[in-house]
Amino acid sequence: MTRTGQPRSVPRRRNLDLGLLALAILVLASTVARFLLSRGVENPWIAPDEHLYGLLGRSLVAGDGLRVLGETVPYYSLLYPLLVGGPLAVGGLTWGITVVQGIQALLMSAAAIPVYLWTKPLAGARYGLVAAGLTVLVPGLAYSGLLMSEALYYPVATLAVWSMAASLESPTFVRQALFLGALALALATRLQAIGLVAAFVVALGLLSLAERSTTPIRRVLPTLLVVGLASAAWAAVRIATGGLGELVGAYAPLIEAHAYAPGRLAESISWHSGLVVVLTVGIPLVAAGIFVIDTMRGRERDPGVRALVVTAVAYAGVTVLEVGAFASRFVEDVTERQLLSVVPPLFAVFAVWLHRGAPRPQPATAVVAWVVAAAALLVPVGRLAVPAAAPNSPSTIGLERLSRVVSETWVEITHTGAAALVLLIAVFVPRRLVPATAVVVAGVLVAGTVLASGELRTLSRQTDSLEFAGESRDWIDRTGVGSVALVQTGDRPWTTAWFQTFWNDSIDAVTSFAEAEVPGAMPQSVVGPAPDGRLVEPSGEAFDPPYAVAPSTVSIAGEPLASLAPTDRPGLTLWRVDPPLRVRQWVRSLKPNGDLVSDVARIDVFDCSAGRLELTVLGKQGLPFRIRVNGALAAERSVPSGEVWRPVVPAPAAAREPATCVYELESDGLVGVTRAEFVRDG
């Protein structure tokens, strides 16, 4: 008190200003660091997600709605395509991607703001900054360099969970309205936010149990009423416009309950529970478990902490169930992308635990530590330490890197030892060293961030090199042609359709051979070559674009205009089509360099009534090499190493009408086929 009896308010304002200043510096530093770590990621490479969001964004900005190649696609997101669409539509794609990376670095770093404002009243400014700092160190913030909705959903979901806790702590009409607004924002960002409704119900139930009263439920009746009415209205509109399958837009397959295998579902949920341990480095989960026990036993007196604990735990639990169910059908290993937003609330709980001196009552602490350890060890290391997991789970890249230099047994030992060490630190660290646990968590997150950012840059560059062979990504647009159809034969990965369509606006149609359909929301027609080589759509109409892009394994009647060289996959060729579009020949199972290794290559020649197949065969091992036509042996020879054989095989005499001739090249060892061309008479 001052001499006049007034409270000393100046130091308090100074502390508040210093806290906010430190928060601003933290967000700015994180933004700059994340943007710099994104440099080198110039080509969207996680197909189809990145390409789909980019295409949808450009369509929205152009005023065409959620469309790809002129056709409406199921709802994935509204706000995220809008976020990326503007920069991508102005100034070129390369420049636009750079701008998006800067915006996303700021957005993901801004998740620290609600975490700080949430934690500060409960643990003070210092520990509020600890929680905020850990929030921006998560390796998953590497998604700020990619065209992925995680970049927007991370801060939006964090805001929604904070507003949920605030409405449970003190459910004024303003706070409930803010929660409903944040919920709507999250749903417009990603339909995964449906889980926020379930999390709110679970958190409300836990709070009522903790307080031994139904008062929490009665106080949020307006929110429950609005959510119930909005859900009913949404369901009615969606079902009326498109049936039950339209209820959740592009995620309609998720509501097919019969498609879930109980064993696989339980396994996936347990794996993703363990993945949360990896994401948080375990110690914050020990803190959360201790608080849950105290809260449910009625020992937690602070209403703000009670709301924080039940909200963080309910949201984490519901999200693990939601993501585990999704992954049990659509992901081979584990996926942290959809789990990222559970981490900030758990860091807030961790900060409150540190502020209180890390209470570790027994036997509760031991039980919690064993549960966390079991969750971590239930995830098979073989599901974490795999290259395929990197796009979905950047936090596991460290284990995958380790698996490159040591055996799987040593990876398992390292994983188990690290989990045990971290949990031992959480349980037994002396009270005076408790703040060091935050340093341990931060250190692991920083190491994971460096590895994740480097690996994503490497994967982006490798994918770019494989797809475009060092040429300009807009190589089709550069020719100046328009109305190009991309022909997907299955000789190149299905991702080709997404890469080429994203970078080349001149592609306005995709057609796929049977069994070579492009996954995702790619509009396409499925065609099969007729005997004369014409591509016939299911309606019976001929597919007749003026220009076509096809793998170099396919020859089309017309004039080649431009091409991409082969890498470890066939190249691509842009053709000016002699109408109607006709495939002349299709070569399969030869390596891009022409090698054939103890296998059978197939050459389908369409409309083969008059002509001959001319081959140039380079001997490499001197083993027998055979040529068959429609199953009949036409020629055979052992070509000595270094020698060249140029056989000529006429079309079968029976091939008088438009027909398909099937040539098979069979080798008992390594041989090179440097030319395989059907030359037509006349």
Residues near 649 by Cβ (< 8 Å), separated by ≥ 6?
Answer: 612, 613, 615, 627, 629, 634, 635, 663
Helix axes 435-468 and 343-355, enclosed angle (nearest 10): 160
Helix axes 435-468 and 408-428, enclosed angle (nearest 10): 150
**Mean pLDDT of the 230-241 span:** 73
What is residue 520's predicted lDDT score, i.e. its pLDDT? 85
Give the largest Cα separation in the chain, rounded: 115
Environment class of 117 (CB within 10 Å of its CB; exposed 0-12, middle 13-18, buried 19+): middle
What is residue 326's predicted lDDT score, i.e. its pLDDT? 84
Q: Which of 538, 99, 158, 188 has its CA nearest to residue 344?
A: 158
Q: Which of 477, 519, 525 has its CA nearest to residue 498?
A: 519
Q: Please give the Cα distance from 342 to 154 (Å, whole number).
A: 9
Coil, helix or strand at residue 560: strand
pLDDT band at 126 (very low <50, low <70, confident <90, very high): very high
| Each residue's pLDDT tens digit, 551-598 | 999 999 999 999 999 988 999 999 999 988 999 999 998 998 889 888
Long-range contact pairs involving 12-20 (C-beta distance under 8 Å, separation at least 24): 15/125, 16/125, 18/125, 19/116, 19/120, 19/125, 19/128, 19/129
Lowest mean pLDDT among 56-65, 229-238, 315-324, 616-625: 229-238
**Mean pLDDT of the 193-214 span:** 93
Residue 622 has pLDDT above 60, yes or no: yes
Q: Please give the Cα distance from 508 to 487 (Å, whole number).
A: 11
Number of other CB atoms surrounding residue 550 within 10 Å: 24
Q: Give me the chain's average pLDDT, please.
A: 88
Strand partners, 558: 577
Two tokens, residue 205: 């139930």
Tell me the CB-side half-sphere exposure of residue 510, using CA atoms within 13 A. Answer: 29
List the domains of the chain with CATH numbers. Answer: 13-462 (no CATH), 477-583 (3.50.50), 595-680 (2.60.120.260)
| Each residue's pLDDT tens digit, 23-47 | 999 999 999 999 999 998 989 999 8
| Each residue's pLDDT tens digit, 591-617 | 988 898 888 999 999 988 888 999 999
| Each residue's pLDDT tens digit, 304-335 | 999 999 999 999 999 999 998 888 877 777 88
pTM assigned to the model: 0.90
Residues near 559 by Cβ (< 8 Å), separated by ≥ 6?
Answer: 575, 576, 578
Residue 367 has pLDDT above 60, yes or no: yes
In SS3 terms, 295-347 reads as HHCCCCCCHHHHHHHHHHHHHHHHHHHHHHHHHHHHCCCCCCHHHHHHHHHHH
What is residue 251's predicted lDDT score, i.e. its pLDDT? 55
Q: Which of 488, 576, 499, 577 has its CA nearest to residue 526?
A: 488
pLDDT band at 254 (very low <50, low <70, confident <90, very high): low
Lowest mean pLDDT among 1-15, 111-125, 177-191: 1-15
**Mean pLDDT of the 164-172 span:** 94
Distance of CA 67 to the CA centre of its chain: 20
Residue 5 has pLDDT above 60, yes or no: no
* 572 compared with 227, residue with greater pLDDT: 572
What is residue 7's predicted lDDT score, i.e. its pLDDT? 43
* Cβ contact 204:217 at 8 Å: yes
**Mean pLDDT of the 141-168 span:** 96
Does an H or E element contain 483, and which?
Answer: none
Residues near 379 by Cβ (< 8 Å), separated by ≥ 6?
Answer: 270, 271, 274, 275, 278, 334
The pLDDT > 70 percentage for the chain reads 93
Phi, psi of 358 (to 5 degrees): 55, 60
| Each residue's pLDDT tens digit, 460-491 | 999 999 999 989 999 999 999 989 999 999 99
Most trustworthy range by pLDDT among 128-132, 370-374, 449-453, 678-682? 128-132
pLDDT band at 8 (very low <50, low <70, confident <90, very high): very low
Strands 507-513 and 547-551: unpaired
Q: Please give the Cα distance from 259 to 565 (Å, whole number).
A: 42
Residue 413 has pLDDT above 70, yes or no: yes
Two tokens, residue 635: 């020629």
Q: Which of 321, 319, 291 has its CA nearest to residue 306?
A: 291
What is residue 166's predicted lDDT score, i.e. its pLDDT? 95
pLDDT band at 643 (very low <50, low <70, confident <90, very high): very high
Q: Please give the Cα distance from 176 to 183 (Å, whole number).
A: 10
Residue 9 has pLDDT above 50, yes or no: no
| Each residue's pLDDT tens digit, 651-673 | 887 666 678 899 999 999 999 99
* Cβ contact 412:381 at 8 Å: yes
Q: Which of 504, 414, 459, 430 has its CA nearest to residue 54?
A: 504
What is residue 30's predicted lDDT score, i.e. its pLDDT? 96
What is residue 164's predicted lDDT score, i.e. its pLDDT? 96
Residue 239 has pLDDT above 60, yes or no: yes
* 396 compared with 586, residue with greater pLDDT: 586
Q: Which of 634, 610, 638 has its CA nearest to residue 624?
A: 638
* 417 compared with 507, residue with greater pLDDT: 507
Residue 137 has pLDDT above 80, yes or no: yes
pLDDT band at 262 (very low <50, low <70, confident <90, very high): confident
Q: Please give the Cα distance from 504 to 484 (Å, whole number).
A: 9
* Cβ contact 146:46 at 8 Å: yes
* Cβ contact 203:164 at 8 Å: yes
Q: Which of 325, 326, 318, 358 has its CA nearest to residue 342?
A: 318
Phi, psi of 363 (to 5 degrees): -90, 5
**Mean pLDDT of the 18-22 span:** 90
